[in-house]
């Protein structure tokens, strides 16, 4: 289980990368509304998995190429802003859970289900 120190670092990385992604000049990265949903960092701070949610994603492959291309700049900026002893190597993972949740909500909203009558309503 991650320690509180690692949880704080994960949250700091999440907030910082979220801000930095808006500053990336590569158009492949800006394919919709991008937000960082979670960060998992190893205990030795060598590697970080950054989970991104993209609403309106056009092409996942080109976005991953853009993120890989910008990862060096992101890592350098992250190291300067957070002043960590070791700046982790960044790996980006596209998280589709928000899109799936929105799809499930739209399906549930389209169902025509009548509410059940309770005994108090029947009287």
65 lies in some domain: yes
pLDDT in tens, 92-120: 998 887 778 888 888 888 887 777 776 66
More confident: 103 or 90 = 90
Q: Is the dihedral of CA 80, 82, 86, 87 positive or negative?
A: negative
Query: Where does 31-118 have alpha helices with state H?
Result: 60-82, 97-110
The three-point CA angle 31-51-27 to 5° equals 20
Contact 75, 92 (CB under 8 A): no
Give me the phi and psi of 36, to 5 degrees please: -90, 120
**CATH number reported for the structural domain that contains residue 30 in this entry:** 3.30.300.20
In a domain, 37, yes or no: yes
Domain count of the chain? Answer: 1
Q: Over 60: is that where the pLDDT of 37 sits?
A: yes
Domain that holds residue 64: 4-112
Residue 121 maps to a domain: no
Instruction: Quickly state the pLDDT bin for 39 (edges 50, 70, 90).
Output: very high
This prediction's pTM: 0.76
What pLDDT does residue 1 have? 47
* Model confidence at 51: pLDDT above 70: yes
Q: Is residue 117 part of a domain?
A: no
In a domain? residue 122: no
- 30 in a domain, yes or no? yes
Phi, psi of 53 (to 5 degrees): -110, 130
């Amino acid at each position: 289980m991650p320690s509180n120190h690692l949880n704080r670092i994960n949250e700091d990385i999440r907030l910082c990368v979220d801000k930095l992604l808006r500053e990336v000049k590569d158009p492949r990265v800006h394919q919709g509304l991008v937000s960082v949903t979670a960060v998992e960092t190893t205990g030795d701070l060598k590697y970080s998995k950054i989970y991104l949610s993209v609403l309106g994603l056009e092409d996942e492959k080109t976005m991953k190429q853009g993120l890989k291309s910008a990862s060096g700049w992101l890592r350098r900026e992250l190291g300067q802003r957070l002043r960590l002893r070791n700046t982790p190597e960044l790996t980006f993972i596209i998280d589709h859970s928000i899109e799936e949740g929105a799809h499930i909500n739209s399906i549930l909203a389209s169902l025509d289900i009548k509410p059940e009558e309770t005994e108090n309503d029947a009287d």
